Chain A
Amino acid sequence: MRIDIAKDVLEHNDALAQENRRRFAEAGVFVVDLMASPGAGKTTTILATIEALRDRYRIAVIEGDIASRVDAEKIAEHGIPAVQINTGGACHLESAMIRRAIDQLDLDELDLVIVENVGNLVCPTEFDLGEHAKVMILSVPEGHDKPYKYPGIFEISQAVILNKYDTRSVFDFDEEEFRSVVGRLNPRAPIFPMSAKTGEGVDAWVAWLTERIEAAKEGGSRDA
């Protein structure tokens, strides 16, 4: 006997993600999911973003790693609430993990939640967490050809941060080629060349984020 199902395979994940999204909207908090390879500078980018925005906004961080609390501790040292998720081997975060993490945060007292996904350019792309924006970070030393090898993550990101831009003279990074292929994969995504370490170029990324935090806050207060 044939039974028609016609359901998304990730229906369960997507349903929980929608639930997370609803909670974020009610609280007027903007949530960004940062995705990158290990070592691209996710945590340094988060710290630079916190420094730029902490006077204006209440921020928390959800750290996803296979193991350890290293990153959450690094964030907490800066006086920012940080929840560590250990995926115990899983190569990406899922919406159920985010739901458990936000239970440990007071969303009403926050404007921005930054999620640091597990370092991986493949697996996080398929999983909706309930975030408002997925942003990927590519660092210059990884090379301009990464979008050819990992197109999916460039396609689904709302913005691309090109980190460690201060090292571009050392590496053979062809920025024109990079912009051309990212432009074809995802013409709507802005590219922010920056160095999270030196602070060069961080302003443009922070301005983009600020617009979205403000929009989320307005949405939250309108609903309230």
Chain B
Amino acid sequence: MHEMGICDGILSSAVRAASDSGATRINRIEVSIGELTEVMDDALRFAFEALKTGTMAEGAELVVNYVEARSQCTDCGAVFRHDRFDPKCPECGSYVSTLVQGRELRIDAIDVD
């Protein structure tokens, strides 16, 4: 249940940004989560419901944008989509690549009043 820690990070960032802008209420929090992270959607939403109580995000909706895994091939430079067990370059067949997206744990934006 490290989703609690992750959710705590989401909420504290959101509340800080909202307070800095003089807002009193957070309506929506948008986050991007890479599909290669070990974050479970259900656990994240459970943590969000539990932790937002009593904060200015109490009525907020959590919008999760899942980011697919993409890597760049070290041998030929191609950027390709892959599942985690098969990061094989479709252009040249190499297995040596660098991940370019898919491990995000990012808070993108909030909507406030």
Interface residues, chain A, CB within 8 Å of chain B? 1-13, 90-92, 94, 122-123, 125-127, 148, 151-152, 155, 181, 183-185, 187-188
Taking CB atoms, residues of chain B closer than 8 Å to A2 are: 109-112
Complex Cα spacing A112 to B106, Å: 33
A129, chain B: closest CB distance, angstroms: 13
Q: Which of B2, B18, B39 is in CB contact (< 8 Å) with A92?
A: B2
Residue of A nearest to B1 (CB): A91
Complex Cα spacing A126 to B37, Å: 7
Complex Cα spacing A198 to B39, Å: 37
B36 interface hit (Cβ, 8 Å) = yes
A37, chain B: closest CB distance, angstroms: 14
B113 interface hit (Cβ, 8 Å) = yes
A7 pairs with B13, CB closer than 8 A: yes
B95 interface hit (Cβ, 8 Å) = yes
Taking CB atoms, residues of chain A closer than 8 Å to B106 are: 6-9
Complex Cα spacing A11 to B108, Å: 13
Q: Which of A3, A122, A125, A183 is in CB contact (< 8 Å) with B18?
A: A3
A9 pairs with B107, CB closer than 8 A: yes
Q: A3, A125, A184: which has the most chain B beta carbons within 10 Å?
A: A3
Residue of A nearest to B37 (CB): A126
B112 pairs with A1, CB closer than 8 A: yes
Q: Number of contacts between A and B (CB, 8 Å)? A: 97
- What 1/0 flags go to B56-80 for Cβ under 8 Å of A? 0000000000000000000000000
A90 pairs with B108, CB closer than 8 A: no
A145, chain B: closest CB distance, angstroms: 12
Complex Cα spacing A4 to B109, Å: 4
Taking CB atoms, residues of chain B closer than 8 Å to A90 are: 2, 5
A126 pairs with B9, CB closer than 8 A: no
B105 interface hit (Cβ, 8 Å) = yes
A9 pairs with B111, CB closer than 8 A: no
- Which residues of B from 1 to 22 have beta carbons under 8 Å from A? 1-2, 5-6, 9-10, 12-14, 17-18, 21
Q: Which of B14, B84, B108 is in CB contact (< 8 Å) with A4?
A: B108
Taking CB atoms, residues of chain B closer than 8 Å to A125 are: 38
Taking CB atoms, residues of chain B closer than 8 Å to A181 are: 85
Q: Give the 5 A-B CB pairs with smallest separation, nearest first.
A: A123-B2, A9-B9, A9-B105, A152-B38, A122-B38
Complex Cα spacing A185 to B95, Å: 9
Taking CB atoms, residues of chain B closer than 8 Å to A184 are: 85-88, 95
A9 pairs with B13, CB closer than 8 A: yes
Taking CB atoms, residues of chain A closer than 8 Å to B2 are: 90-92, 122-123, 126-127
Q: Which of A5, A8, A91, A126 is in CB contact (< 8 Å) with B17?
A: A5
Sample of 25 A–B contacts (CB below 8 Å) = A2-B112, A3-B21, A5-B13, A5-B108, A5-B109, A5-B110, A6-B108, A6-B109, A8-B106, A9-B9, A9-B106, A9-B107, A10-B5, A11-B9, A12-B9, A13-B9, A90-B2, A90-B5, A91-B2, A92-B2, A122-B2, A126-B6, A152-B36, A152-B38, A184-B87
